[in-house]
Amino acid sequence: MNDILRYDGKNVLVVGGTSGIGNGIAQSFLAAGATVHVWGTRPSAADYRADEGSRLEGLNFSRVDVSDAAAIHAFRPPFDRLDVLVLAQGAVEYRRAEFEDKGFRHVVDVNLNSLMSCASLFHPMLKAAQGSMIIVSSIGAYKAAIGTPAYAASKAGAMSLTRSLGAAWIGDGIRVNGIAPGLVATKMTKVTTDHPQRLQGTLARIPAGRIGTPQDMANVALFLASPLATYVVGHTIPVDGGLSA
């Protein structure tokens, strides 16, 4: 790998790094030489299974429920330096649950409010390291989502927060940017990817002719956190095979 994309000696935390896209990002930073920490919801690393697409070998796991702001602020990091913070946590509720207060609030807490709690908790460490933060939103932010209004609204909020924190924190030497994935097969998207007709319908609209992989997202995360992207600030890059183009 080109040295400019190496992360030897760097500390990385991937919130939502136990599964899917976040797990792919965490494993890629590990392969690039970083010490990588991940947060998830289960009691221990042993509770994650490879057949669900989770690989926790080499990653330092902590359990933090990010729907609870107090739990985030109570976290005592097992590291005193942080170079890269990736916020890849995400939740969605189907069967019209997001049309009820409880479901709407839970999704907004996980997908939007927790971003600010995590960002503010780690702001001092990121400033000290002149580090980088990457927010994972979604191309679902760009248009109506008739079954999941909290998901779409929270992801639009995540993109807006990426712009604002990008502008607000570049003066502190912290670069904030984002990734907006298209469709990637994860436990969140089984409802589509395990359903041949729905999958075919989406595939037909993807110019690249295939769905994305966690590695596709990780490649852009490694770029955004690297010196190759020093003049990229406050932007969210769609990584969707052209789906939203």
Check residue 221 for interaction with ligand NAP (CB under 6 A). no
Check residue 183 for interaction with ligand NAP (CB under 6 A). yes
CB 22 to ligand NAP: min, Å: 5
CB 34 to ligand NAP: min, Å: 18
Give the residue among 181, 188, 176, 187 at the shortest CA–CA distance from 216: 181
Q: Which of 59, 88, 107, 153 binds ligand NAP (CB under 6 A)?
A: 88
Beta strand 35-40 with 60-63: parallel, antiparallel or unpaired?
parallel
- What residues contact 171, with CB distance under 8 A and at least 6 apart? none
Measured CA to CA, the distance from residue 83 to residue 234 in angstroms comes to 17
Q: C-alpha dihedral over 139, 141, 142, 146, to 10 degrees?
A: 110
DSSP designation for 146: S
Check residue 110 for interaction with ligand NAP (CB under 6 A). yes
Report how far Cα 19 is from the mean position of its chain's Cα atoms.
Answer: 10
Check residue 22 for interaction with ligand NAP (CB under 6 A). yes
Check residue 184 for interaction with ligand NAP (CB under 6 A). yes
Q: Which of 118, 119, 129, 136 binds ligand NAP (CB under 6 A)?
A: 136
CB 165 to ligand NAP: min, Å: 16
Check residue 65 for interaction with ligand NAP (CB under 6 A). yes
Tokens representing 31 are: 């392969």
Tokens representing 140 are: 């679902």
Check residue 36 for interaction with ligand NAP (CB under 6 A). no
CB 3 to ligand NAP: min, Å: 29
Burial class (CB in 10 A: 0-12, 13-18, 19+), 74: exposed
Q: Which of 7, 11, 13, 20 binds ligand NAP (CB under 6 A)?
A: 20
Q: Which of 13, 21, 224, 237 binds ligand NAP (CB under 6 A)?
A: 21
Q: Which of 41, 160, 213, 219 binds ligand NAP (CB under 6 A)?
A: 41
- The answer to whether the CB of 218 falls within 8 A of the CB of 136 is no
Measured CA to CA, the distance from residue 232 to residue 191 in angstroms comes to 34
Check residue 90 for interaction with ligand NAP (CB under 6 A). yes
Where do contacts with ligand NAP occur on this chain (CB under 6 A)?
16, 18-22, 39-42, 64-67, 88-91, 110, 136, 138, 181, 183-184, 186-189
Active site members:
151
